[in-house]
Structure 1
């Protein structure tokens, strides 16, 4: 399940990001599939916070390709035309559950996001290119001082894919779940007891600029930690934070071969990587060079993009995904056969994605979406079912 990121890193007025491009999930729809047009989503407020909760279901309607929102009953509403500068979007908020209570809405066949905010409605705008997503790495974003988060989902004729994500930020905690036809329920995304504060304490203790990812409100409320990608982009995290590890990887594979087997179901498909200068060349079994990577920087590593771009193909993309996971988890010096899917090997180097390490460390099941290709080795926090009876979103304590 590839996780692609919507990247609203530009200032608000320029960041027209298409909701629903965040997840490229699921197989193509099957004609005549039994998945209903809407599925109930039960939202439970176990946050312990007293403020009102506002919920939004925003995305792309799969049957039409239109962007819009769904109301509590699952009815689709297309966004009106936007402007430049961006114009206010219609109020798509749904009243969320009060503390200790649950609210059930219906979610339609979308690829999109379920947002929730505490105490204040989110400020959504529309440009001529579509919806502008909140971009809290931008100091002038109107949502910067709001405590909020989102889950990503795709519901189509093949079923439901619903995740908890920390790819862009770690903030108000929540878990997701799905009830199957046999009545069983799968859940993921719950933090350990005191895991929320534990995560922030861990970042503060790291040194090296990692504490700079944390954003607080003027009243002292901790709002979130930005992903390290946004940390590098905004200068909150030093741009050279991964250089030592990247240099050691390049040095090793100038003299050793890196073997990448990107498909778990195709163990015979292997690519061999060797470094020559600033380039790592990958060859197939015949010795033909099939793709090459320039020596990456932290931006490319944390974002799994730019010098580690991963197109949706059968060669470069899968190799890049594997490299991205190896760099973020710091497993490329542990094992010259990648991907390394043994969690005990992850994040052991002193130079690593400390944000991702801290997120995974606080999850009850160890699963998280702490960077874009955290699904390499099935480490992602995702529930999926081809015949979902009900979905769940649980707002967990901020403690």
Structure 2
């Protein structure tokens, strides 16, 4: 798990986050699962539709101690199974899975089943017309046979969550996309996910700019500011590392020019009126794409003691910074080996509403893979933020208004500041809780059981004699994913990422919900700054804090054979 580091504003910043989590952020539902009962034996089953070599099940019976098992593949039923014996009517089984699909491992949501209650699961939604190839746009309807059920859906191929769009009427499908839907009802198990993929073979809704020879992909922009800014007033800049590890500026023609100490990026910002977009070469790591309204940003290039050149990104905590009173925002990306990872981010701040839509395919034949970001206006976002977050968080939208909404770590939530003790009570209660009970978490490397001794949580896994340690974090370390939550070996760092995310989402006290988005942010102390961005972003995908990619909640899009990205700049 790679931490998305909140910006540390020093005179010289040598490194930026490299978005190579290796975990696909937009994926298809690739399994079915459930529970069957025969006599006094309940069988939890998992049936994969992809190349899956192992599945772990995590379950509790009647809220007892969580059990973790590697499931057995049943050749007759073509599925992975785990039997629970001596069950009786009324027993409640809560269960979730960890499974691999190629290199990474994925955690599912938590499901529940009541033995003897055959009507406890909401009917799977029906999507009409069926998925397939069409020559014209389609109006898609979704229905559920369970009376009173609420249907939530996505249009980017991601699995719907409790924060996804509520279905209220026909969905207009004008370009190729995948719709997924889930139905929920009070007192019942959620339905299985319904999915339908539509290929629209008419004229493309988006025409990408031509791809130059030797380039991997393009980036182009739409001015959706409704006249607030004209194209000559909107500036964009791209900085990233080349294969030699040098920070470079990227020109619209795709040429990467190493940054020179003593210069700054202002002369490498291009107004939209001067170009059709950017060509992107086959290798760019640690990429940032800045959008600035009214004027370029003054981003200095400085030399470090080792002779390398680093980037002094805007310091939003320094009123003397030349970019402090500028309207700007940025996206982050990496292009490596014919793949791209790209995301929007509010880890540090919100400055501008924008969306990123990724297209994959060949130079002349491509289709939309996914779209992330915010489509609401700035005025709406500022107003809604102040009315929807708890009182401690409202000042984040006023301290540097009208330029930006600050992330808590930059807006008064560090030690010694107004809200510097926000997480302290929750951290203390969690450390006390796990001195007498087990904390169970599953990561790709296995299932770990932890117990607190003093200020350290010791975690072990079956068959491994090594003990892994996570120290009790301070509030600052929770907000920043730093210190105690960013140290040790690779396994300890992966465990720390899970714990950090659980604190932000307020599920650390109930580990069965670590991978259940329905349970996130339901009570405090929680990161309501992050919750707001999930509530107001397309398909609830946002990077609201440093480890928001835990359980695949971030706005990261991963694409193979990227052809182009379209960035819609709002206001």
Please tell me the TM-score bracket, short chain as reference.
0.7 to 0.9
Shift of 1:199: 5.5
Query: Pick from 288, 291, 296: which aligns with 1:116?
Result: 291
- Between Structure 1 and Structure 2, the one with more strand by share is 2
Question: In 1, distance between residues paired with 2:474 and 2:442?
Answer: 23
Q: Is the 8 A contact 2:353 2:378 kept in 1?
A: no
Change (3 A) 1:158 1:389: closer
Corresponding residue number in structure 2 for 1:37: 215
Query: Pick from 8, 11, 17: which aligns with 2:13?
Result: 17
Query: Pick from 259, 264, 267: which aligns with 1:79?
Result: 259
Cα distance per residue 1:64-112 (max 9 Å; x no partner): 2211101111111111134xxxx645611111259xxx94221232121
Corresponding residue number in structure 1 for 2:492: 316
SS of match in other structure, 1:223 = coil
Question: In 2, distance between residues paired with 1:308 and 1:152?
Answer: 23
Q: Is the 8 A contact 2:355 2:375 kept in 1?
A: no
Cα distance per residue 1:134-186 (max 9 Å; x no partner): 11122222111101000001012231111111111122011112112263213
Corresponding residue number in structure 2 for 1:372: 546
CA RMSD of superposed structures (Å):
2.6
SS of match in other structure, 1:58 = strand
Corresponding residue number in structure 2 for 1:53: 234
Query: Pick from 92, 96, 99: which aligns with 2:268?
Result: 92
**Within the alignment, does 1:106 sit opposite 2:279 as a pair?**
yes
Query: Pick from 501, 505, 526: which aligns with 1:325?
Result: 501
SS of match in other structure, 1:209 = helix
Question: In 1, distance between residues paired with 2:251 and 2:375?
Answer: 33
**Within the alignment, does 1:243 sit opposite 2:419 as a pair?**
no
SS of match in other structure, 1:202 = helix
Q: Is the 8 A contact 1:81 1:126 kept in 2?
A: yes
Shift of 1:332: 1.3
Q: Is the 8 A contact 2:415 2:476 kept in 1?
A: no
SS of match in other structure, 1:356 = helix
Shift of 1:228: 1.4
Query: Pick from 344, 364, 367: which aligns with 1:164?
Result: 344
Corresponding residue number in structure 1 for 2:480: 303
Change (3 A) 1:199 1:277: farther
Change (3 A) 1:154 1:121: same
Corresponding residue number in structure 2 for 1:134: 314
Corresponding residue number in structure 2 for 1:290: 467
Shift of 1:349: 1.5
Question: In 2, distance between residues paired with 1:141 and 1:234?
Answer: 23
Q: Is the 8 A contact 2:219 2:278 kept in 1?
A: yes
Query: Pick from 211, 226, 230: which aligns with 2:394?
Result: 211
Corresponding residue number in structure 1 for 2:327: 147
SS of match in other structure, 1:23 = coil
Change (3 A) 1:259 1:170: same
Shift of 1:193: 4.3
SS of match in other structure, 1:270 = strand
SS of match in other structure, 1:261 = strand
Change (3 A) 1:237 1:142: farther
SS of match in other structure, 1:22 = coil
Shift of 1:278: 2.3
Question: In 2, distance between residues paired with 1:196 and 1:291?
Answer: 47
Query: Pick from 190, 208, 211: which aligns with 2:373?
Result: 190
- Tell which structure's C-alpha radius of gyration is larger: 2
SS of match in other structure, 1:315 = helix
Cα distance per residue 1:258-298 (max 9 Å; x no partner): 011112xx6xx111111223222212325745222222122
Q: Is the 8 A contact 2:218 2:564 kept in 1?
A: yes
Q: Is the 8 A contact 1:6 1:22 kept in 2?
A: no
Q: Is the 8 A contact 2:3 2:481 kept in 1?
A: no
SS of match in other structure, 2:13 = coil
Q: Is the 8 A contact 1:199 1:362 kept in 2?
A: no
* Higher relative contact order (Cα pairs below 8 Å, separated by 6+ residues): 1
SS of match in other structure, 2:562 = coil
Question: In 1, distance between residues paired with 2:456 and 2:386?
Answer: 33
Count of aligned pairs: 367
Question: In 2, distance between residues paired with 1:194 and 1:88?
Answer: 31
Unaligned runs of 5+ in 1: 28-34
**Within the alignment, does 1:255 sit opposite 2:255 as a pair?**
no
Question: In 1, distance between residues paired with 2:457 and 2:21?
Answer: 32
Query: Pick from 530, 535, 540: which aligns with 1:361?
Result: 535
Unaligned runs of 5+ in 2: 23-212, 305-309
Shift of 1:36: 5.0
SS of match in other structure, 2:493 = helix
Question: In 1, distance between residues paired with 2:464 and 2:20?
Answer: 34
Change (3 A) 1:207 1:157: closer
